Amino acid sequence: MTREEHKEIRELIELRVHLLQTLVEENIQSASNTTTEGWPLSPKDPLPSVEQKVIENAQHEILELTQTLIWLDTEHAGLCEQCGNAIELDKLKSAPTNRCCAYCTEQNSLETIGKS
Ligand SMILES: [Zn+2]
């Protein structure tokens, strides 16, 4: 991974974290709002747990992204955790929390299909 690629992925992750934090804040506000006005989902099923779920998912992703930022500063940055080969840059850009190269991801999914 070049210095430019490293920077690009880091910025991508930081932007994503920022967006998720905004999403969490919006949902916390929305959850504390007692009216269902402007409810984006099904109005006949106004479950507060939907917002709770969104918040939980977002917070989970923030955690993963934060760990990825730490990973980017290690000597293993950009390397597949299974085979040690460089992870494709396009793959890292589309899914920065992915720690496997395309080959290993395919092998893993084949294995999962085989097991089920
Ligand atoms: Zn691999």
* pLDDT tens, residue by residue, 56-83: 999 999 999 999 999 999 999 999 999 9
pLDDT at residue 36, as a whole number: 55
10 Å Cβ neighbour count for 2?
Answer: 9
Q: Separation of 85 CA from ligand 1 center, angstroms?
A: 6
CB 96 within 8 A of CB 9: yes
pTM comes to 0.77
**Residues in contact with 39: Cβ distance below 8 Å, sequence separation at least 6, in sequence order:** 46
**Low pLDDT (below 70) residues in the chain:** 33-48, 115-116
| Residue 86, token pair as written in the block | 């460089």
pLDDT at 31: 76
Q: What is the pLDDT of residue 112?
A: 83
Q: If you measure from the C-alpha of residue 103 to the centroid of ligand 1, how many angstroms do you get, rounded to a whole number? A: 6
Q: Tell me what pLDDT residue 84 has.
A: 96
CATH superfamily of 3-39+47-115: DksA, coiled-coil domain (1.20.120.910)
**What spacing in Å lies between the alpha carbon of 9 and ligand 1's midpoint?**
19
CA of 110 to the centre of ligand 1 (A): 14
Q: HSE of 66 in the Cβ direction (CA atoms, 13 Å)? A: 9
